Amino acid sequence: MKQEIESFLRFLEVEKGFSPNTLSAYRNDLAQMAEFMEEELLKGKEAPAWSRVGREHLQRYILEMRERDYSEATRARKIAAARSFFRFRAEEGKGKENPAEAISSPRVGRALPRTISIAEVRRLLEEVAQGQGPEARRDQAMLELLYASGMRVSELVSLDLEDVDTQEGYVRCLGKGSRERVIPIHPKACGIVEEYVKEARPKLLPLPGDKALFLNQRGQRLTRQGFWQILRGHAQKAGLGKVTPHMLRHSFATHMLSGGADLRSVQELLGHRHISTTQVYTHLTMEQVHRVYDKSHPRAK
């Protein structure tokens, strides 16, 4: 059970860019849940395994937290960690059902996604464009494509050569739950990706028959962790501090909405199953509207 928790934590670190403190909190919360589930399963004379954990086990876990007088914020955090963990297992094909799907949690304030501004994105992309050599061209193609499409980093590194059509201007990717979607990409990003494929990728010495779009120094498919390290290095050189792959995804969504895109279109581009997931970005754009209003309206000064 601990091994699956560590796999989930690596996912949070690499793809979500969670801080060490946040990862530590997740580790503690999930370790506590694992200990409780092991005891519960052993009571029923079942071998401890996440696949045997059901909704009734989670309900008893939540009840115990209430009996131990945990605050609403603490219970909400621990339930959120459990839901994220079981959702990850389901998306990885490790469970037929998600026992936490229907579990509710205390309502506390929802954190808004972290983004960077359009000017900061430009600084990042301009910094990447200054590099020389095949790896620099690969980095530029990856970042341009990620910001042009709003893809998850796992979707980006999973792309094969045939998934990007630079002539028609689209990328085809496989998202969560094996849901496929086609995303348009603007001409500038298409040109940069095409240049990488024709001129830089062959110099990375791909293995015979390897269809991976983005390669590492050994000619193998680039990993999520490898991309995260590349992005971190370029962000630091651009003077932006910590920038995660998911922050670029959030920035893409926010900038699209600020530019006039409708919510349903952004939902389709991001591959969100529910519109409520996409609606969080409207809070960010409304903050911008309020700032403009407060600055411009004569009665607001």
Minimum mean pLDDT range among 77-91, 109-123, 186-200, 201-215:
109-123
- Of the residues 77, 89, 201, 272, only one is catalytic, namely 272
299 is catalytic: no
**SS3 assignment for 113-178:** CCCCCHHHHHHHHHHHHCCCCHHHHHHHHHHHHHHHHCCCHHHHHCCEHHHEECCCCEEEEECHHH
Predicted confidence (pLDDT) at residue 183 exceeds the cutoff of 90: yes
Query: Which of 77, 89, 137, 249 is the catalytic position?
Result: 249
**Of 152, 201, 234, 255, which is the active-site residue?**
152
- Among residues 57, 181, 203, 246, the one annotated as catalytic is 246
> What CATH superfamily classification does 118-289 receive?
Intergrase catalytic core (1.10.443.10)
Catalytic, 176? Answer yes
Asked whether this chain's domains 2-91 and 118-289 adopt the same fold, the reply is no
pLDDT, averaged across the chain? 84
Phi-psi region of 173 (alpha: psi -120 to 50; beta: other; left: phi over 0): beta
Q: Enter the pTM of the model.
A: 0.62
Span 253-282, average pLDDT = 82
pLDDT-derived band at 154 (thresholds 50, 70, 90) equals confident
Q: Is 281 an annotated catalytic residue?
A: yes
Catalytic position from the list 26, 61, 147, 281:
281
272 part of the active site: yes
249 flagged as catalytic:
yes
Q: What is the pLDDT of residues 43-81, one digit of tens each?
A: 767 777 887 888 888 888 888 887 777 777 788 888 888
| Residue 157 pLDDT | 93
Q: Give pLDDT, residue 293.
A: 47
Active site residue 152: yes
Q: Pick the catalytic residue from 75, 172, 176, 181.
A: 176
Q: Which CATH class is domain 2-91?
A: mainly alpha
Residue ranges per structural domain of the chain: 2-91, 118-289
